[in-house]
A and B are shown apart, each in its own frame.
Chain A
């Protein structure tokens, strides 16, 4: 029978209760996702599969919908603030959408257990990218896609250009692939590459990555929708909750020290990664 019917035996009141619980989880996750530029799925999928026993493909379906929502919501704020490098985003989106298309098709073919295991490993990788020092101050014009923005925290105008575009395209393909396969945004894969190798200032890299995530996630989300892996009972409260949370989170993102906040969530990610891998091993 269709995988989307697995939750059907729940009674009516249980259904409303589940929707409310999912909504509350999504508000919290959306706020954190908006702040860290993490998209939210990285927290949603382990919580859904490990704690609510939701089949991973349905969790991915709900998550990828919410990732589209988060990115659009954060995009309306970031684009307004001028932090997003729109043109660079559009070039890199060619690679991310191709990756997402391939990833989405792959996810429909491989086993749920393999998806869970992969997710656990990607969580560990995300943790590694957060632990790595992420600072450089050598942002400068390069003659390639030069642009500038006014930093809301320091009130200074930062002008920078792009380096190593081909490396950026390759990383973007991988990020899109992971996004389509596992239902996450892929920000933690793109942001370090954009910042450390392409020379994009961190805030601009986060904003530009967030901006690309919506287009990337929508590419695989339409596949999940058409193939029956989007359950409205999960996806609607997740999307609405994440939207509410992200409105708050992304408005604060330019003003708080995201590095400090990221530290606090490394422990959460480690815990979720261990849970996810344990679930895979246990079967």
Chain B
């Protein structure tokens, strides 16, 4: 691998990672902050438990604070998973099979954890 190509590849990967982290964080923060505002306006309904994704989505669409909290937390947790998934795609596009495999292994462990949590 030539030096110039290596540096520009690393930069592309950094940019992808940066974009995923920034969007995920912004969305998650916005959801949780909206939840707090809704809660203050419309009575205190923050429960002491979190909701599964489908229920969180339904309540968010219904404009309920509890939905915004859970969805915000889920987006926060999904951000690193998406970051790794984006890296897999970035390495595949670059035809860097070795690192595509490395990141795929990491993604596999994360998905295993999601499945074990449900079961």
Q: Which residues of A contact B (CB under 8 A)?
A: 2, 4-8, 12, 15-16, 65, 68-69, 71-73, 75-76, 79-80, 82, 84, 86-87, 90-91, 93-94, 97-98, 100-101, 104-105, 147, 214-215, 217-223, 225-228, 230-233, 235-236, 239-240, 243
Contact = CB atoms under 8 A, between A and B. Distances in A.
Nearest to B25: A72
Given A80-B18, A243-B25, A87 B76 contact: no
Contacts of A101: 109, 112-113, 116
A254 to B, nearest CB: 16
B106 interface: yes
Given A69-B76, A87-B99, A215 B17 contact: no
B116 A86 contact: no
Contact of A239 (B70, B76, B103, B106): B76
Given A72-B21, A82-B14, A214-B79, 20 more contacts: A15-B44, A65-B76, A72-B83, A76-B22, A79-B14, A79-B21, A91-B102, A101-B113, A147-B10, A215-B81, A215-B106, A218-B110, A222-B114, A225-B50, A226-B114, A231-B50, A232-B47, A232-B49, A232-B50, A240-B36
A225 B24 contact: no
B113 A223 contact: yes
Nearest to A234: B48
B117 A240 contact: no
A92 B85 CA distance: 16
A66 to B, nearest CB: 9
A232 B99 contact: no
Contact of A215 (B10, B73, B80): B80
A225 to B, nearest CB: 6
A269 to B, nearest CB: 26
Contacts of A223: 113, 116-117
A99 to B, nearest CB: 10
Contact of B25 (A73, A79, A104, A222): A73
A239 B32 contact: yes
Contacts of A93: 84, 106
